[in-house]
Structure formats: C-alpha cells, structure tokens
Chain A
Amino acid sequence: MKLYVTDKDGKEHTLEGTNDWSVMEVMRENGIEVLAQCGGSCACATCHVYVEGDWNSKLPPPSEEEIGMLDGAFEVQDNSRLSCQIKCSPAYEGLKVKVAPGSY
C-alpha cells in the first residue's frame, strides 16, 4: 500500500507500506525522523502522528491503552494516533499521516 507521510519539516514522502507492519515501522525503515522510543509497544507516546483527510474515521479506533498513552503526547487532536498502533493493510491504500510535535 502507498503511505503518505509529512515529516517534521513539512516535507511529504510517499512510502511503500508493507502489509502488517505498523506505520511507525515503515517510517523508521524509510528514515523518517520519529522517536518511537519504546520500539512499538504502546508505552511512550513518541510516535504520535495526525491522521489526515478522512482516514481517521476509516481506521479501527484506538484502544483505551493508546488513548491513555496520548496523555504523554503534545498538541493532541481528534485525529491523533500512535503510529505504532496503526497496521498497514491494502484497505488503507493512500493513508496519510503527519508526524506530530514532540515525536521527533
């Protein structure tokens, strides 16, 4: 699937999202700056992204744990997610995210 990522400098990247990988892993693999300090275990809130367009309503909703972890993120919005908790899938072809402040 194609994944569009806006990095900390506002530059947009088109990435190839490997099925079943998390968006965080795909970003890291492609050298997009994202702290992701806990390595993807929903334990640190440093892979915070904004899900853009109408993708927020199309993705499965965040777990209670993810919502709780977002307490440790900054400038949280309704479309805030932890990118380690979004799994790539053909159903999300064209997913668009932006790395949030505090996660780089």
Chain B
Amino acid sequence: MTEIHKTDAVIIGAGPIGLFAVFELGLNDIKAHLIDILDRPGGQCAELYPEKPIYDIPAIPVCTGAELTTRLMEQIKPFHPVFHLNQMAEKLEKIAEGWRITSDRGTVIEAKIVILAAGGGSFVPKKPPIKGIEAYENQSVFYAVRKMDTFRGKHLAIAGGGDSAMDWVINLQPLAASLTLIHRRDEFRAAPDSVSKMRALVAEGKMQLKIAQIMGLKGEGGKLQSLVVKDDKGESEHVCDTLLAFYGLTMRLGPVAQFGVAMEGELIPVNTANFETSVPGVFAVGDINVYPGKMKLILSGFHEAALMAKKAFEYIHPGRKYRFQYTTSSSDLQEKLGVKPDERAA
C-alpha cells in the first residue's frame, strides 16, 4: 500500500511564495510538505527566469530568479520542509482530521491545512496548436520521455531546439529506427557540447536535421503516418510514426479548479485578513489569489504568507495562545531558526 505522509500543512507549489510560506509556518511550529510539478523548487523563478534579474525584493537590490530560490531554500532549511517534486497535486479530499492530497504519481499526504501557492498553475509541456493532435497523444505524439523503450524501433521525429530536444536526440538515436530533428532555424539554444554531438550524428548519416516547422499531422486512429512541415520552399510531408515535441513549458491551472474552493475565473478569491479561501482550512497565497488591490508581486506574496501562517496557527495549535514575536529579539524564534545571535555579535 502507498505510504501516507502525515504533516501539518501541505503547500501546493514550491515557487518563491510556497517556499517562504514554509518559513512563516515554521516560526509558528507548523511543519510543511510541498508538492511541485517541476523537478526543482523555484516555480517561475526556476523555469521562466532563472537568469533574469529581479530588483524589487526588499533589501536585495538585485538577484536572479535562481539566486532568489537558493536564498529562500537556505532560509527555510531550519524547518526541514519535505519536497514531493515532479508531480502534480491532483485530488483534494476532506477527511476527519483535515485534508488528503493525492498527486498524479500516487503520493498521498494528509495534512490539517492546505496552502495553494500554485502561481499561474502547473508547468506543463507546450502543445503545438494543431487541430486533432489530442487523438495522437500518448500513442504516437509525446511531450516527454517516460520510458526510453517506447521509442525503440520507431521512425522518430523530435521537434525543438533546446536542451531537452538535444538530450533526447543523443539518447534515443541508438534506439530509434530512424531519427529526424525538426527545428525552425539552424541555431540551437542548448549546451554547445550537446549541439556538437547532434551535428556529429548528422554528419555521420545516423540522423537527419530538418530546418522546418510542423504545421499538421496525418494519420489514422491516433497512429501518426507523416508530419506536414513547412520550410522556405513551402509545405511538404515528412514520413514518421512517432513525434516527440519539446517547445518548452506553459502554465495551466489544472486540477486546482476542481478542488472545491470558490474561483473567480482562474483565480481564487481570499479574505485579506488571513488569505483563507471560501473553504476553511484552505488558503491561497501568491499569484493564484485575487482580492481588491491585488498586485502580482513576489513581495506581496511574502506578506500574504505571513498573515496566512498566523491564521494557520489556530488550526494547528488550537488552545495555544498566539504570540506575536520578532526574530530579532525572540529567543524562542531564534531557537527554531537554530541561531545564537549572542555568538554572532561576539
């Protein structure tokens, strides 16, 4: 049977706000697990702009998305958060003690409260806007490699010009019956070493490189027969039976819409006193929430997490009196953080 993780709070989304929520909850003696669809923490900071500068984090004149994530990870270390990465929170059910969250990989977490910090939703592969492509998905069109064997003996086309496309060209070439890389231009935004390897395979005649774009699919019953491709000379057909498309990731709200909290479009209205949703014990912080005056800023999300954690304390420690404290002066908080300021001063 699947192991059931039990904790105080489960945070859906390990972006900057989900990470900082761990900190604020931790100061309030609340343990947390996080679920994220990406393979690493950081959310948009990790996926969209790891190298881009951010200038509006208080007291940090400039840092990149990746640096912000690293700093937050360092800051929350004392609270030992448990990460469940590479998976999407799929189902939220009410149970007597609180909530049961199940991921699409079968991870089950039971927690007393839930914090939705899912930003713009789950990062999922971008799908080419081709009519009827759904019929081919998971049969002859794929956006990820789960098992390499799926591609053994296939006449494979890989689309894309980044690291994912290069890595899978290199790894799947020996397995595939034939392999063609299809990219819109003869330049690749990938590790130079991988690009060299790909070019060597082309030079050795072990694969083809086609500078073109995919415009359509032809086939029957989900079985791909050819791709309609377009290049400088116009449209033509490229015969293959399997397509692996790597156009990067896009955000889709996903299962959160079915979690039972009131929605306003794709956003979740909250009470700004405590960032609770329409459902008691379920909170929403960061880009996913909406309230009068909302600004989608990381710094706003940090504030929201602090107020959320104060309310969360009532759920996790009923009967305990909430004590407002400063990390600067509270030996209690400093103990939780594992710091000894006296020693630091000395």
Give chain A's interface residues, CB within 8 Å of chain B.
35, 37-39, 41, 43-46, 68, 70-76, 101-102
- Number of chain B residues whose Cβ lies closer than 8 Å to a Cβ of chain A: 23
Q: Does B265 contact A (CB under 8 A)?
A: no
Q: Does B162 contact A (CB under 8 A)?
A: yes
CB distance from B333 to the nearest CB of A (A): 34
Contact B248 A45 (CB under 8 A): yes
B237-292 contacts to A (CB < 8 Å): 247-248, 250-251
Contact B52 A37 (CB under 8 A): no
Contact B129 A43 (CB under 8 A): no
Contact B120 A76 (CB under 8 A): no
Evaluate whether A37 and B129 lie within 8 angstroms (CB atoms) in the complex, with A68-B189, A76-B213 already known: no
**B126 proximity list for chain A (CB < 8 A):** 72, 74, 102
- How far, in angstroms, from A71 to B215 measured CA to CA in the complex? 14
Q: List 28 A-B contacts (CB under 8 A).
A: A37-B250, A38-B44, A39-B296, A41-B52, A43-B48, A43-B52, A44-B48, A44-B250, A45-B248, A46-B250, A70-B184, A71-B160, A71-B162, A71-B183, A71-B184, A72-B126, A72-B247, A72-B248, A74-B126, A74-B128, A74-B213, A75-B129, A75-B213, A75-B215, A76-B184, A76-B213, A102-B126, A102-B128
- How far, in angstroms, from A102 to B250 measured CA to CA in the complex? 10
**B120 proximity list for chain A (CB < 8 A):** 37
Q: Does B161 contact A (CB under 8 A)?
A: yes
Nearest residue, chain B, Cβ from A101: B129
Contact B128 A71 (CB under 8 A): no
Contact with A along B72-89 (1 / 0, CB 8 A): 000000000000000000
Evaluate whether A35 and B250 lie within 8 angstroms (CB atoms) in the complex, with A43-B49, A71-B162, A74-B129 already known: yes
**A46 proximity list for chain B (CB < 8 A):** 250
Contact A37 B48 (CB under 8 A): yes
**B248 proximity list for chain A (CB < 8 A):** 44-45, 71-72
**B128 proximity list for chain A (CB < 8 A):** 74, 102
Given A38-B48, A41-B52, 16 more pairs with CB closer than 8 A: A35-B250, A37-B250, A38-B44, A38-B49, A43-B49, A44-B48, A71-B161, A71-B184, A71-B247, A74-B126, A74-B128, A74-B213, A74-B247, A75-B215, A76-B184, A102-B128
**B161 proximity list for chain A (CB < 8 A):** 71
- How far, in angstroms, from A101 to B248 measured CA to CA in the complex? 15
**B52 proximity list for chain A (CB < 8 A):** 41, 43
- How far, in angstroms, from A44 to B119 measured CA to CA in the complex? 15
